[in-house]
Chain A
């Protein structure tokens, strides 16, 4: 008969967990963005590659420094700031001066994430805050669009990318207007197939809708994303656009154009779904997605700017805690089914 002599440990149940971990979820989101990133570099060349690297590095280093500076253990190992950095890189113009990229990344992480209390506390998506900051600070470089698949895009670095800080950048790349700008100012609508395949110009990683969707499907399949948010955004935008197009097909584009142009796909799949800044209930997520959808359509059709996804999501982020306050699960034994 064996004698028990070992010390046993004491812990409160449950004694098992399902094995998921926050850092694993974050890492998977990061991985889901890699195909989009690869396509971005292929489409826009060395400029885009540099922008993505500097954007990611600026965010990760900022978080690391701030943690060290405040005497806390570094939190970059949870991969959340890496997602912020990569997403931030993917929503910038491909020939943006690198010093601007760096300044924006520092601002986004320091103000929108760290000052709010770090992971889990950020009320706003930090990547979008960084971009909104640049949009306000450097409006011209932020609306300068390089032609995709340009000749020699892998051989040389666009001069603007390496511009000296605080000096006016000079541009040598061939530029073009984004599909949304063409819609807004010229009344031209790009074709759906062209948009889905990523043949148009735009921010580094927002052009190829198909790859973004595939990344989203991967995350939904692994139960790491609430599909209701993008679904709600898509349905709202499509329904509104369809109604307007029916009313006036010359002024208003169709649903396919609206869904696959600009940052809608990337925003709906990867940024509106930021778990921290979105509502916690499924019903709340539907409402939150609808709000984003309506705002996108309103800003795109009647706002001063051609694109509205960024502000739509940031505004919805601000409303998200209130949605959570309004919509809570119906507690068992209250209301329906109770006698």
Chain B
């Protein structure tokens, strides 16, 4: 499956620093797992880079102040999931030089456990979009051994060019990050995966790779959704993660290239994530680009800085295949936000643009497109009849990772992946009850 890549407009634009918004909203839950526990109070002054929330248990990471300023409030704020989450509102000091407060550095001579703790306290999560706490992956379940570390530079979502820019501009940071990850995970081999349309990034890795690193650069075919870790493992390692299993089951771990670069950039200076690189693009904004943006920047501020189009119609985080729609412009950029893409009425068709839904004609396009070989046609019929349990028991619903390929190719415009998202939630609810 090959959706148009749409990366040309931002691919050649270097990463630029984004200005500070008047208010930054830092949610305490930007990752999978427990929300962090705030260690600042309302009215307190914070310095940029200072820890403002500590991890709550192992499945949790720290949060850092994205700017020097004042903690205005700690209260519920809207989030991309549609629910409100506890967040720290920080008002940056306009006159501040915004120097970053460095913490205790973590050197490469640290023990694996010390590195894992440092990664957790640097607030590092998967920056590719899933926002899974990175340090958790580095500690495989009892009895599992990791041998191969994948660095994922396959950015297969249309419009997004953040990983591409990071690969070109932060190549040294990536190698430094690999050193930390190798030591922490005990892996002995590194494969950097890059898509064939980013040959220059692959070449840069090859030419700049230090001799002592066990790195192979592998180029994967341009294909959606090649960037999903399961797809990378099977394409480049020939191993399939078992249904319902973890990458550790095939002795591999996968780390996004931007996450790796941040580990390499932050740990030597004892810093935490207080900003990240995102692509702001799509036909709905004029000043497209790749920006290093403070965590907590509201989407409204980000768009307003980039000259939004008059007939803006839909805004979503990340790319158009999997990106969740922004339902409220006061939602902040979080660690898992890889981009903001804006569409105008020309792309969405406006209020009358909804495509007519036809019955399923069994054309099998979805079956061809599904990367995990499900039968979306059958699942769609069951979902329509609300037979969620049968979908899970007989048709492997829970193996769907919601890449959206089925809905993209469906000529009858059946909202397949949308049905499956809902069905998965229903199944989880039913099995919890």
Contacts and interface: CB of A to CB of B under 8 A. Distances in A.
A328 B399 CA distance: 15
Interface string B199-240: 000000000000000000000000000000010001000111
A9 B364 CA distance: 30
B117 interface: no
A45 B294 CA distance: 76
Interface in B360-384: 360-365, 367, 370-375, 377-378
A10 B417 CA distance: 16
A330 B322 CA distance: 24
B320 A25 contact: no
B407 A17 contact: yes
B64 to A, nearest CB: 28
Contacts of A331: 243, 372-374, 396, 399
Given A78-B358, A333-B245, A14 B408 contact: yes
Interface stretch (B51-59, B87-95, B261-269, B309-317): B309-317
Contacts of A11: 314, 325, 348
B304 to A, nearest CB: 5
Contact of A337 (B240, B324, B326, B410): B240
Contact of A14 (B311, B320, B359): B320
A22 B321 contact: no
Contacts of B242: 333-334, 338-339
B40 interface: no
A121 interface: yes
Interface in B408-422: 408-413, 415, 417-418, 421
A17 B240 contact: no
A8 B314 contact: yes
A278 B361 CA distance: 10
A165 interface: no
A337 B238 contact: yes
Contacts of A4: 300, 303-304, 308, 312, 329
A18 interface: yes
B363 A15 contact: no
Interface in A44-93: 78, 80
Interface string A220-241: 0000001000000000000000
A9 B348 contact: yes
A337 B239 CA distance: 6
Contacts of A21: 355-356, 358, 411-413
The number of chain B residues touching the other chain, given as a range, is: 35 or more
Nearest to B404: A14
Nearest to B416: A14
Q: Which of A276, A333, A337 neighbours the largest number of chain B CB atoms within 10 Å of its CB?
A: A333
Contact of B241 (A8, A119, A333): A333
Interface SS, A side: loop
B291 interface: no
A278 B358 contact: no
B102 interface: no
B347 to A, nearest CB: 8
B363 A25 contact: yes
A2 interface: yes
Contacts of B399: 331-333
Contacts of A339: 239, 242, 249-250
Interface string A1-36: 111101011111111111011111100000000000
B374 A120 contact: no
B305 interface: yes
A329 interface: yes
A275 B361 contact: yes
Given A13-B322, A119-B359, A120-B362, A8 B239 contact: no
Contacts of B418: 12
Interface string A267-289: 00000000110101110000000
Contacts of B324: 12-13
B325 to A, nearest CB: 5
B367 A280 contact: yes
Contacts of B238: 337
A332 B358 contact: no
Contacts of B96: none
Given A8-B326, A10-B327, A338-B240, A20 B411 contact: yes
A18 B421 contact: no
A306 interface: no
A337 B373 CA distance: 14
A22 B411 contact: yes
A280 B360 CA distance: 11
B255 to A, nearest CB: 21
A192 interface: no
A150 B426 CA distance: 67
Contacts of A278: 362
A118 interface: yes
A15 B230 contact: no
A21 B324 CA distance: 24
Q: Which of A12, A24, A121, A324 neighbours the largest number of chain B CB atoms within 10 Å of its CB?
A: A12
A119 B411 CA distance: 14
Given A1-B305, A331-B373, A333-B245, A14 B362 contact: no
A10 B325 contact: yes
Contacts of A20: 365, 409, 411
Contacts of B20: none
B361 A332 contact: no
A226 B358 CA distance: 20
Contact of A17 (B316, B374, B375, B413): B413
Contacts of A3: 304
A152 B24 CA distance: 86
B138 to A, nearest CB: 21
Nearest to B348: A9
B373 A120 contact: no
28 contacts: A2-B308, A10-B314, A11-B325, A12-B325, A13-B323, A13-B404, A14-B407, A16-B158, A17-B355, A17-B407, A17-B410, A20-B411, A21-B355, A21-B358, A21-B411, A22-B413, A25-B361, A25-B411, A276-B362, A278-B362, A280-B367, A281-B364, A329-B370, A330-B373, A331-B374, A334-B243, A337-B239, A339-B242
Which 4 residue pairs of A and B lie closest in terms of their CB atoms, listed nearest first? A120-B359, A332-B372, A14-B404, A333-B243
